[in-house]
Each structure stands twice: as structure tokens, then as C-alpha cells.
Amino acid sequence: MVRFTKLHGNGNDFILIDEYKGEAIRDSEKSSFAAKYCDRRFGIGADGVLYLGVSDKADIGMRIFNPDGTEAEMCGNGIRCLVKYALDKGYIKEKASVSTLAGVLTVSSRNDGRTWVTVNMGKPVFSRESIPAKGEGEFLEVNMHGYEVSAVNTGVPHAVIFVDSIDSSGLMPSAPKIRYDPVFPKGTNVNFVHVDSGDEITVCTYERGVEAETLSCGTGSVACAAIAHRLGKTGSKVRVNTRGGKLMITLTDEAAFMEGPAERVFDGMI
């Protein structure tokens, strides 16, 4: 039997497997476990599986596997859920560090009846990858598949497209063309953005690995805020509205900070 906890950040939901005190799912089976149990008809249902473990680089470690079985470098909503769980278990304090495939990220939390987690997401890289290829400049407003596409890496790759209105049913069919375009070596998440005001945007995201729209994407919200600010469309503090709720993004010269909620839904056994 394997214990699990279901959590969500703004409707972006995850199955968490606690491996802090020992391995629960063998490494060779982590991918297939995610593919099986993320299924919303025949499994538990989730946008990904979080594995919480120990780390020799940080207070705790995080790995995340997508519903298609691939492993992602990072997940903004996922890391907040992981931190919420670790706080509840007493594994970490209000300020802590988390090791991910995108590096070690620092987090802090507060509670006003809900748990709010702020994550130092590091400095956005305005490129198709986390480390730009030699000679590669910024990827901003490039014409692709009928859209002006900008690229930024906020732990994982994102394409950002500004639109006149957010109608996900009309926009999502175009997303796979960009997601799988060979210009993105590892594929990309695709975000459609409407600028509501100088400090507020609305976002819908097609997530790589989920291969569908999710209710919210943390790294995507940071990506959209970073590109909007880079292009002079917003200030450095941006409220991001998603279908699942809001996130607050603060951009500095050194890093981007994301604050949002994380909620525990239920515990179970498989």
C-alpha cells in the first residue's frame, strides 16, 4: 500500500508521495505511476505527481512527473503544494529551501486561514532554454503560426502570446503547433495573455506533459508577467488571473517572486 496526499494550487492539482523517510515508489516506476494515477477516469486524477524527498543541497527535495510520464524540471504551483505539505508535517519551517531539477529555490510562507507560499523563482531567462545557446539573443515577438511569440524560461520553457481577449476554447487548438515547433528543443508550454491594466493580466496555459489547458500554471504566470514587463506592458508587480485563482508576481533585477495559495484536499491509500 502507498499513502498519498492530494493538493492543489489554484486548481492545478497534484498527487504527492512522501519519500522523506524512505522510497515509496521505485525510480524505475515513478514515470509509469504518474501516467497511471493522474488519469481522471481510471486513476486518482491530477496534473502531476510530486515526490517529496531529502536533499543534500536543500531542506527538502522535489521531483515532478507529468501525466504523460515525463519528468519536468520545475512546477510553480507544485512547489507551493509540496511546501504546504512539508510545513504540515513539520519537515520545514516558514523559511526553507527546495532542491529541484531547475536548481535550489528558497521559499517562505504565511497563514491567514489559508497557506500562502512565496517562491523565489530565480531570474527569468529570455530565451528558448534555461541556458541560451552560444550566439542566441532574446526571443521576443517572433512570428510563428500566425502569432507573435516570445520565449522565456522560468524553470521550464514557456512561449507567451498576447491576445485581445481570453477565449481558451478558441485559443487552445493553436497551442500544440507552437508547443511542438522544432524551434523549441525540449518543447514548450504555451501561454495566451490579455493585459487588463498596467498591473494586472489574465492568462490561460497549455501545459507541456499534460497536453491540455490547466486551471493555473505557476511558472507560466511568472513567464507572462516577466514578458509583459519586459515589453513595457505592465509594471514590476503584476496580479495574474487564471481560471483557478490569482497569483502575485514581483519582478526585481535579481529574481522573480511568486506568491499564491496551496491547499490540501484529502489523503488516501493505493
- Give the active site residues: 75, 217
3-class state of residue 229 by DSSP: helix
Around 178, how many Cα atoms within 13 Å sit in the side-chain half-sphere? 29
Spatial neighbors of 137 by CB under 8 A, at least 6 apart, are none
Q: Which three cell numbers stand for residue 121?
A: 523563482
CB atoms within 10 A of CB 111: 10
At residue 162, what are phi and psi to the nearest 5 degrees? -90, 135
CA dist., res. 198 & res. 12, Å (int) = 26
Exposure string over 244-255, b if 16+ CB within 10 A, otherwise e: bbbbbbbbeeee
CA dist., res. 36 & res. 30, Å (int) = 10
CA dist., res. 8 & res. 104, Å (int) = 22
At residue 36, what are phi and psi to the nearest 5 degrees? -75, -50
3-class state of residue 97 by DSSP: strand
CB-count exposure of residue 131 (10 Å: 0-12, 13-18, 19+): exposed
CA dist., res. 97 & res. 100, Å (int) = 10
